[in-house]
A and B are shown apart, each in its own frame.
Chain A
C-alpha cells in the first residue's frame, strides 16, 4: 500500500481565512501534530469527527498541539446516547492504556455535539451534518464556502435491509421500504451538486457479501450516489487494511467504468494527496 498509503483516516481541509479543519484523528494525524507543535502560537484548530471508532480517533491523545496552552480547539463530533464525546476522548487516556493523563492537556478544548440534520455557519463557511448508516452514531459532513462544496461520507453502508447504529432499526421498523427510500433520497440531497465527495469504499462487490453489517460501501454504491447527485469529483476512501495498491486500482477501474462518459471525475484517496477546489 505504498501508493495509496497505510495510515487510517485523517485529512485536512484548508479554506482561505479560516483555521485549518482536521477531519478525524486516524494515525495520519500524528505527523501533522508534530509539525504544528513547532509553529509559533497561538494556534486555532477545528476538528470535525465522523465517529468514534478507533481508526478515526486513535491519534488524538498523541496530537501535540493539545499539550500547548496557546492552542484553542473546537471539536464538532457526534453525540451518543451511551457516552458523550468528551467522555470518549478522556477514555482514550485510561491510565493503563496511555502514558499521558487527560489532565496534561493544556489546550483550550470546546466540544459541539451533533446527531445529524444540523446546519451552521463557521466563520465564512457553512457546515451541515447528516446521520449515516454505520454502527454507533456516525455523521457525514458537508462543508460549503464561496460556492464550493466538499462532502465527507465515511463510514457508511448501503441501507437496504441493513439498519446500523443507534436507533436506526427502530426508525425503519414501521415501514422499512419508506425508511430506505427516505434515507437514500436525503443522502443524495445532502451531496447534491458537490464539487468533491469523499466516500467510504472499504469493500468491493465480492467483499461486502455477508459483511454489510460492518457498515461500509463499495465503489458501485459510491458511484451510483455521486452520479445521481450530479457530483463533480468522487474520491474513493477508507481502503480496507488488507487492500493492496493493485486492489485499490481495481476498485478505481470499476468506479470509472460505471461513471463512463458521464461528467464525473473518480480518483482514489492517496496519502499526501492535495486537492484544490
Chain B
C-alpha cells in the first residue's frame, strides 16, 4: 500500500503563473496525500482547482455523492482562496469535510468571509449547494486510515503543522513556519522526529529573511538545518517566493542538494503536478 504526495500549488503569498515559473508552478499552496485509495487534501490555495485533475471521472462531480477531506493549517488567503474555484462545491450531494485544530466558529467565520456577497457571487457558506462538515482535530484523530496530529508553527497568527501517519509511512507538513524562532522550532523539530517525508517552508534566501525580518517563513539554510535535525528520508521545500523563476529555483535546489544529499537522505524543491512516493 503506497503512500504518495502530490503538489497542486507550491507558491507562497500570491499566485504568479508565468512561463518562467511553469516547472515549479505558480499556484498557491495545496497538496494531496494518497494512501492506497484514500485521499487527504492539505490546504486550499489556488492549486486546489488543479487537484480535480487527479480524480477519476466515473461519476461526474455534478451528480453529487463525492466526499473530500480537507485539512486546513491556517486561514491566510493563499491557503484558502482556491475553495471558491473547487467545482464540487457548486453541486448538491457533494460533501466537503474540513478538519482543523480550530474551533468550528473560527472556521465558519473565515469561510463566510471568503464567500461573502461583497467579495463573491455567493451569500455565505450556506448559500452553496454542497454540504459542509467541520471536524475539530484532536491529537491522534483518525481520518480513514490516517492518524493525524498537529503542532503549532512559528508564523504570523495561529498556524499548525500536520503529521499524517499511516501503516505505510508518515509525513510532516509545515508549509508556513519560521525556523529561526528557536523556542517553537525546537519543539516542532522534536515532534517531527522520525517522519519519512518532511514538507517544509523555504521561502527566502538568508539575506531576504534578514531584510524582511522573517515574515513567518524560513530561509533555505534554516530549512535545510531543520531537515538535518528531523532527519526524514526525503525533504520537500515549498512555499516558493512568488516571483522566483524556475531557473533561480533550479540553481538553488542543485546547490542545496549538493551539500545535503547522502545515501539515506535527500532534498528537493516541490514541483506543481509532481507525485512523490513516500514509501
Chain A interface (Cβ < 8 Å from any Cβ of B): 1-2, 5-8, 27, 30-31, 34, 52-54, 57-59, 61-62, 80, 82-83, 88, 91-92, 94-99, 135-136, 214-215, 241-242, 271
Answer whether A97 and B110 are a contact pair too, CB < 8 Å, given A82-B118, A135-B121: yes
Contact B81 A54 (CB under 8 A): yes
A226 vs B215: C-alpha distance when bound (angstroms): 48
Contact A62 B13 (CB under 8 A): yes
Chain B, 154-177, contact with A by CB distance < 8 Å: what is the 0/1 string? 011110000000000000000000
Contact B113 A94 (CB under 8 A): yes
Contact A96 B119 (CB under 8 A): no
Answer whether A99 and B216 are a contact pair too, CB < 8 Å, given A27-B16, A58-B77: yes
A2 vs B85: C-alpha distance when bound (angstroms): 19
Q: Which of B75, B215, B243 contacts A31 (CB 8 A)?
A: B243
Contact B121 A53 (CB under 8 A): yes
- Please name all residues of chain B whose beta carbon is closer than 8 Å to the beta carbon of A30 when the two chains form the complex: 13-14, 16, 242
Q: Please give the distance in Å from A161's CB to the nearest CB on chain B.
A: 18
Q: Please give the distance in Å from A114's CB to the nearest CB on chain B.
A: 16
Q: Which of B15, B120, B121, B243 contacts A34 (CB 8 A)?
A: B243
Closest B residue by C-beta to A6 = B17
- Given A54-B114, A59-B14: 15 more A-B contacts, CB < 8 Å: A1-B17, A2-B19, A5-B17, A5-B18, A6-B26, A8-B15, A83-B118, A88-B118, A88-B119, A96-B157, A99-B76, A99-B156, A99-B216, A136-B117, A214-B121
- Please name all residues of chain A whose beta carbon is closer than 8 Å to the beta carbon of B158 when the two chains form the complex: 96
Contact A97 B76 (CB under 8 A): yes
Chain B, 230-249, contact with A by CB distance < 8 Å: what is the 0/1 string? 00000000000011000000
- Please name all residues of chain A whose beta carbon is closer than 8 Å to the beta carbon of B26 when the two chains form the complex: 6
- Please name all residues of chain B whose beta carbon is closer than 8 Å to the beta carbon of A271 when the two chains form the complex: 18
Closest A residue by C-beta to B216 = A99
A92 vs B118: C-alpha distance when bound (angstroms): 12
- Please name all residues of chain B whose beta carbon is closer than 8 Å to the beta carbon of A5 when the two chains form the complex: 17-18
Residue among B74, B76, B216 with most chain A CB within 10 A: B76
Q: Please give the distance in Å from A188's CB to the nearest CB on chain B.
A: 25
Per DSSP, are chain B's interface residues mostly helix, strand or loop, or mixed? loop
- Please name all residues of chain B whose beta carbon is closer than 8 Å to the beta carbon of A82 when the two chains form the complex: 117-118
Number of interface residues of B (CB under 8 A): 36
Contact B77 A215 (CB under 8 A): no
28 contacts between A and B (CB under 8 A): A1-B17, A5-B17, A6-B26, A7-B15, A7-B17, A8-B15, A27-B17, A31-B16, A31-B243, A53-B120, A54-B84, A58-B81, A62-B14, A83-B118, A88-B118, A91-B113, A91-B118, A96-B74, A96-B158, A98-B76, A98-B77, A99-B156, A135-B117, A135-B121, A241-B49, A241-B85, A242-B49, A271-B18
Q: Please give the distance in Å from B21's CB to the nearest CB on chain A.
A: 10
Answer whether A54 and B119 are a contact pair too, CB < 8 Å, given A7-B17, A91-B113, A97-B77: yes
Q: Please give the distance in Å from B239's CB to the nearest CB on chain A.
A: 13
Answer whether A2 and B22 are a contact pair too, CB < 8 Å, given A54-B119, A96-B75: yes
Q: Please give the distance in Å from A166's CB to the nearest CB on chain B.
A: 9
Chain B, 182-194, contact with A by CB distance < 8 Å: what is the 0/1 string? 0000000000000
B106 at the interface (CB under 8 A from A): yes
A102 vs B13: C-alpha distance when bound (angstroms): 16
Closest B residue by C-beta to A35 = B243
- Please name all residues of chain B whose beta carbon is closer than 8 Å to the beta carbon of A94 when the two chains form the complex: 110, 113
Chain B, 101-142, contact with A by CB distance < 8 Å: what is the 0/1 string? 000001000100110111111000000000000000000000
- Please name all residues of chain B whose beta carbon is closer than 8 Å to the beta carbon of A215 when the two chains form the complex: 121
B80 at the interface (CB under 8 A from A): yes
A7 vs B77: C-alpha distance when bound (angstroms): 16
A80 vs B116: C-alpha distance when bound (angstroms): 13
Q: Please give the distance in Å from A14's CB to the nearest CB on chain B.
A: 22
> Which 5 pairs of residues, A with B, have the shortest CB-CB distance?
A6-B17, A99-B156, A135-B121, A27-B15, A96-B75
- Please name all residues of chain B whose beta carbon is closer than 8 Å to the beta carbon of A57 when the two chains form the complex: 119
Contact B118 A27 (CB under 8 A): no
A61 vs B76: C-alpha distance when bound (angstroms): 12
- Please name all residues of chain B whose beta carbon is closer than 8 Å to the beta carbon of A214 when the two chains form the complex: 121
Residue among B14, B80, B155 with most chain A CB within 10 A: B14
- Please name all residues of chain A whose beta carbon is closer than 8 Å to the beta carbon of B85 when the two chains form the complex: 241
Closest A residue by C-beta to B84 = A54
- Please name all residues of chain A whose beta carbon is closer than 8 Å to the beta carbon of B157 when the two chains form the complex: 95-96, 99
Closest B residue by C-beta to A30 = B14
- Please name all residues of chain A whose beta carbon is closer than 8 Å to the beta carbon of B16 when the two chains form the complex: 7, 27, 30-31
Q: Please give the distance in Å from A54's CB to the nearest CB on chain B.
A: 5
- Please name all residues of chain A whose beta carbon is closer than 8 Å to the beta carbon of B77 when the two chains form the complex: 58, 61, 92, 97-98
